[in-house]
């Protein structure tokens, strides 16, 4: 039972990390030092999408589920949890590339806005 809860905790942490990767640049507007954590996280997120890799949290979750007697799943976190919500047909390499580009664009725009705002002061 505890292993199933740990697997669920990994899902929550994974989702939180994804939210941070997508929106963390906005935190930099309030707390500039957050960039020291966000920039590497955002680069990791973009790299995962562009390369088609599976985040290490996904195999951890699957292993915990297997140890708890539950079924794991194939593919990655985004493919398993998020893509069915947004793109019911599944994750394709071109969709993954678009997600990576969107992630990069969101973050470049947020950091660009931050730099412009700082220079105008």
Higher pLDDT, 38 or 56: 38
Tell me how far apart the alpha carbons of residues 42 and 83 are, in angstroms, rounded to a whole number.
19
Least confident of 15-29, 61-75, 106-120: 61-75
Over residues 54-81, mean pLDDT: 78
Q: Are 73 and 64 in contact (CB under 8 A)?
A: no
Determine contact, residues 12/61, Cβ cutoff 8 Å: no
Tell me the residue range of the domain where 14 lies. Answer: 2-120
Q: How confident is the model at residue 114 (pLDDT cuts 50, 70, 90)?
A: very high
Query: From CA 93, how far away is CA 101, in angstroms rounded?
Result: 12
pLDDT recorded at residue 86:
47
Q: How many domains does the chain have?
A: 1
Q: How many CA atoms lie within 13 A of 21 on its CB side?
A: 21
Average pLDDT estimate for 40-50: 91
3-state secondary structure of 14: helix
């Amino acid at each position: 039972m505890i292993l199933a809860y740990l697997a669920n905790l990994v899902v929550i942490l994974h989702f939180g990390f994804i939210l941070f990767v997508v929106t963390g640049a906005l935190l930099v507007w309030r707390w500039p030092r957050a960039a020291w954590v966000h920039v590497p996280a955002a680069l990791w997120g973009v790299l995962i999408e562009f390369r088609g890799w599976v985040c290490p949290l996904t195999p951890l979750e699957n292993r915990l589920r297997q140890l708890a007697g539950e079924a794991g799943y194939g593919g990655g976190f985004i493919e398993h949890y998020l893509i069915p919500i947004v793109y019911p047909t599944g994750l394709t390499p071109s969709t993954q590339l678009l997600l990576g580009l969107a992630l990069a664009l969101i973050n470049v725009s947020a950091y660009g806005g931050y730099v412009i705002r700082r220079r105008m002061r």
